[in-house]
A and B are shown apart, each in its own frame.
Chain A
Amino acid sequence: MRRAVLAVIGTVAGTALMVGAKLGTPRPDDPAAATATDDGPVSSAPPGPAPASAPPAAATASAGPPAPGQSPGRPAPAPPPTTPPAAGGLRNGTFTGNGAPARHYEVVTVTITVSGGRITVANGSCGNASGESRAICADAMPHLQQETLAKQNAKIATVSGATYTSDAYVSSLQSALDRAKA
């Protein structure tokens, strides 16, 4: 992997959940930021004097659209007191918390990527959590967003799709493209 793994930090599940819950806020729509795992400033980071130690508040699990079957809007649990980050803000790099058994949440592991002093990517795992713990944990994790299935006939160079057989290629969109541009 191309991530720079600089350190492993210990954490507790509560903190980890907050990191996950806040994902919807700091993770911008700009695809550049979502892949900005290298060291260095992120040009797409929101401007302004946001504190480098944490993304803005509004940390509820409803930050992103909920997946079906999950109750939206469940607030993330408040984090227990933890050691604040160094005064200089967050160091650039990718950090993985040790899976932490804590209170009701069983083992939760979260990996965050810090770039330009901000959390740009946060991934989590709910470990062996089950039942309500699992539901709370899952709500705090990043989701895919649902949208309407589109049907487009756009200008494209090529097509990605399920593998066609040599025979099926003949009637495929890719085949039409290849013939049109040959």
Chain B
Amino acid sequence: MRRVEQVMGTAVSLHLADPLPQPHLARLADEVFAWLHEVDRRFSTYKEDSEVNRVHRGELDPAAGSADLRKVLDACAELWRTTDGYFDAYATGRLDPSGYVKGWSVQVASDRLVAAGAGNHCLNAGGDVRVRGRPAAGEEWRVGIRHPWEALAVCWVISGTDLAVATSGTYERGYHVIDPYRGEPATVLRSVTVVGPDLGLADAYATAALAMGRAGLDWLAALDGYESGVVTEDGEAYRSPGLPVAR
């Protein structure tokens, strides 16, 4: 069962590969998209009444917020520390945890699918991907990493049965990632992909490395448990030795 919906300002593609009855699969898909719409309502900076905007305006004390809100804000604070300040939910001058929320929400949705007995699936939210299990017996999920200049080509193919794959890049929405130390857009790296167990972290690490510029290459190389592939604005490609590139 496959479904595509517009959520969070992007398109989300879901592929459920388990041989479950169609109504059951449809219900699981409904639940996935209901959750993602709920996250959008609660965490979007574009929705006037979102929890994030209420915190931003001082109307909501984070400590009194929902468990999810606290979880997200705690994760962002922890990421600020582990990325030497380069993942900064305040980089744009206001609270904006979007760099973590999308990956986190997809990870939660994928975890729920596993718990519901649908352990073979692929969920892709605007380029942030969580795959689990297999698309078919004996096959692995093959995730292409978009070529940063060729919209219809890929520059690596990653394969596996349990992967979070997040990419931050400047080629879709321009130089939108701010280096929080300079207060200016990061322009040195064109595309950063991080692969590992958790999509929220992978997404945030990719954004942080993009913000770091060339120093992000060494920072990524030292990451524990997360592999990476980077393309610079100059067209140089780098990857960690453990990146699960398909043969």
A interface residues, Cβ below 8 angstroms from B? 1-3, 27-29, 31, 33-35, 37, 64, 67-68, 94, 111, 113, 121, 123-125, 138, 141-166, 168-169, 171-178, 181-182
From the candidates B4, B154, B223, B237, name the one contacting A156 in the complex (CB within 8 A). B154
Q: Indicate if B21 sits at the interface (CB-CB under 8 A).
A: no
Name B residues whose Cβ lies closer than 8 Å to a Cβ of A. 2, 4, 6, 9-11, 13, 15, 102, 122, 124, 126-129, 131, 135, 141-148, 150-158, 165-173, 191, 193, 197, 217-218, 220-225, 227-228, 230-231, 235-244, 246
Q: Within 8 Å CB of A3, what residues of B?
A: 224-225
Can you offer 20 A-B residue contacts whose CB atoms are under 8 A?
Answer: A64-B241, A111-B224, A150-B155, A152-B147, A156-B154, A157-B143, A159-B127, A159-B145, A159-B146, A160-B193, A161-B172, A162-B171, A163-B102, A164-B10, A164-B127, A166-B11, A173-B146, A173-B151, A177-B13, A182-B2
Tell me if B227 and A31 are in contact (CB < 8 A). Answer: yes
B171 touches A145 (CB 8 A): no
User: Quick one: closest A residue to B229, CB to CB?
Assistant: A144
B163 to chain A, nearest CB (A): 10
Q: A157-B141, A158-B15, A164-B172 are in contact. Are A29 and B241 (CB under 8 A)?
A: yes
The A-B contact count (CB < 8 A) is 204
A95 to chain B, nearest CB (A): 12
Question: Distance in Å from the Cβ of A145 to the closest Cβ of chain B?
Answer: 6
CA distance A177 to B14 in the complex (A): 12
Q: Are A163 and B2 neighbours in the complex by a CB distance under 8 Å?
A: no
**What are the residues of chain A within 8 A of B143 when measuring CB–CB?**
156-160
Q: Given contacts A164-B126, A164-B172, could you give 19 more A-B pairs where the C-beta distance is less than 8 Å?
A: A2-B225, A31-B242, A121-B224, A141-B218, A144-B220, A144-B238, A144-B239, A145-B239, A150-B156, A151-B150, A152-B155, A158-B131, A160-B145, A160-B165, A160-B193, A161-B167, A161-B172, A163-B102, A163-B126
The residues of A that contact B2 with a CB separation of less than 8 Å are 178, 181-182
Q: Which A-B residue pairs are the 4 nearest by beta carbons?
A: A162-B169, A34-B242, A161-B146, A169-B11
Q: A125-B222, A173-B152 are in contact. Are A160 and B239 (CB under 8 A)?
A: no
Instruction: Decide: B10 and A143 in contact? CB cutoff 8 A.
Output: no
Q: How far is the CA of A149 from the CA of B15 in the complex (A)?
A: 29
Choose from B154, B171, B191 the contact partner of A159 (Cβ within 8 Å).
Answer: B154
A26 → B minimal CB distance (Å): 11
Bound together, the chains give a CA A163 to CA B146 distance in angstroms of: 11
Docked Cα-Cα span, A178 to B165, in Å, equals 18
Instruction: Tell me whether B221 and A144 are in contact (CB under 8 A).
Output: yes
Q: How far is the CA of A182 from the CA of B3 in the complex (A)?
A: 8
CB-defined contacts of A161 to chain B, threshold 8 Å: 127, 145-146, 167, 169, 172, 191
Contact B221 A142 (CB under 8 A): yes
In the docked arrangement, what's the CA distance between A168 and B6, Å?
A: 12
Residues of B close to A125: CB separation below 8 A:
222
- Would A175 and B222 be within 8 Å (CB), given that A147-B239, A149-B235, A151-B147 are in contact? no
* Inter-chain contacts of A177 with B (CB < 8 A): 13
Chain B residue at minimal CB-CB distance from A152: B154
Closest to B224 in A: A123
Residues in chain A near residue B225, CB distance under 8 A: 1-3, 35, 37
Is A154 a contact partner of B155 (Cβ separation < 8 A)? no
Contacts of A169 in B (CB 8 A): 10-11, 126
Closest to B155 in A: A150
**Chain A residues positioned under 8 Å from B142 (CB to CB):** 154-157
Report the minimal beta-carbon distance from B192 to chain A, rounded to whole angstroms: 9
Residues of chain B within 8 A (CB-CB) of A153 are 152-154
Residue of chain B at shortest CB distance from A171: B151
Nearest CB in chain B: distance from A27 CB, A: 6
Q: Are the CB atoms of A142 and B222 closer together than 8 Å? A: yes
